[in-house]
A and B are shown apart, each in its own frame.
Chain A
């Protein structure tokens, strides 16, 4: 029996807060017809996730030049979701801006980029953290040894979503049983880790930022995840109870 998008979401939210037991096998592969995947859209969203992941990383010279080099390609996206095309300040200004917003400010960090900080007591590695780590590992990924970050850093989450979409596209023609697991992971990351963060996170950026860059990109992030339902419905080709959204 095919699940509607809404009931799929419900399933995800009903998952326990802690670890999930051997997740792959439990997913009903029949819940989704892989032929419905909108490959082009999936690739587009994959790239947007990856680009946003780059934006919410510390802008080293390499990252900065990637951000700068591809900004034009995402003009439409930022205009639609961020209300403007972000103006990229010089790297010497962007680096301190990044640190003062997301790493360390005078005694604190204004907009902590960690999903955990927007749940429970506001500290790192809160309840859902290990579940996240498990999802990432069971999807065949882990943090590179050179990366001293936590898995629930926004940039990691976005990159992970991007990779999941990539897997969906690449394996779409195979008879891989794990595609459903990929979708579960994608939706869970989006709805349980990123979406709960975006409002507070962007509010804090807005009150502490010196430049518009992270305000605009933050707004785009926020709008994108507020708009996640219709995007996923369309992209994955789900049946939806909400006709309004189905036509989106």
Chain B
């Protein structure tokens, strides 16, 4: 398998070529055949990732391939080198695998859209960017593709750009991400200023030489980037709006590419975070708040995709908790399992939408179990996995995170995470029950729900299998195959011993909590024992708080957007029009005025111009002769 070290470039190249071909030729030649290129290309990428993974797993050492030197500026060398260690290998499998399934799904989903070729140009470009982000061996390359991922998400969220809401959502995603990226960029610059290098290996080697304050600053700035990309509080607002993009894009963003980038980045740069306990604590706290807030919001939403979206935010919060608690492997493990069930949930809701002609509101669904059995069962598996029901994938990884937080000495955070787990289970099963159980609340006269075509159902089945089984690579907890695989990467970080008793205890607790959530959902939406409306009434302000997403958007609107707009208006009215334009216009008027004097010389007669030229020639030649220039002697 070692031969793959020379062929690593295939992994990013295949999607790039697909993107380029569809981009350049798509409009007038490829059109509806765009998937003929894109799907196999991402497939190739996935197939090439497998030997890379096997090689890394077998030899326990990283693979590198130097492609070229991007910036050779004296001492400052930025090589583009592909770097695959265990962490990257896992990410590669997740990214390319999920992306491939999403591509396959998209063939059926986007079929017939006038932007078909455009979609299949952006999608591989997204995969390329993410793969390069994962493969980077250097902060600058990482940053470039960090931005490229942002750009692709902008393009894809705004794919239906004729819809104002989609265009706005795309802009929102881009701008919110830019805020995080700004911090990230400063962090990278700070690294370069203090250490003089941007290569991972050298940075991690020298990070100990820095003062505690500097490391904390760098770590927090880097984490700002992760907050933006991975949708943590307070920058998570873009992710639910990103639902405006086509559903496969949501699946891609939520499961494989975009949002995992932040988690991956923190894990990748863990030596920096390990050097700063303060930063670790901040990460854990932000994660806990995110997990809880997002879970509560998800409970109150009616838009099926938004429920799943807030669920993503919440799960990303869990990953951040793990990162902050130093349970690195648990974070990656959750990322890995989450990719399966989150992609599954999105594709599942996509096929619900497909069956119901783009219906999104769960209040107008119900009883779909009978019409779309395949979608139902796969969605159920995904939901159960997300809710952490034993023995599905989510249970193992989430449980490990909570245990990790507990043993790392963050009991409060562990408790918050447990509370969030209850809400997770509640909103997940709420979604299942509202959508698939109960009476049919959709317009049965016009809508005939049905399971989707094979290109869409195959990914569902594959992902459902993954969601059910992926957890077992990490069994038994803390000692699983997955942990042994990733251990070399996180060698040398403090490792808290976990006693089997703790593990078992927390396993039992979270199972109970998950089942409690399941029961609550069933009671409210299937058995009818509880009236959701009455509960909402009782909770009053708390319910409204959650329903309005904790007023984050409104606060931003009031505190940032409106003052910024006001300031911009001031600049426009006063500075731009009053001073700059006035100066420019004044200069122009001056020119006009002086030109009025000179225009008399313009007779419009070519003959006169020619005469002037000839006169000039005679004078210049004469001047040369008289001045005794050496032109002629």
Query: Are A and B genuine complex partners?
Result: no
Residues of B participating in the A interface, judged by any CB pair closer than 8 Å? none
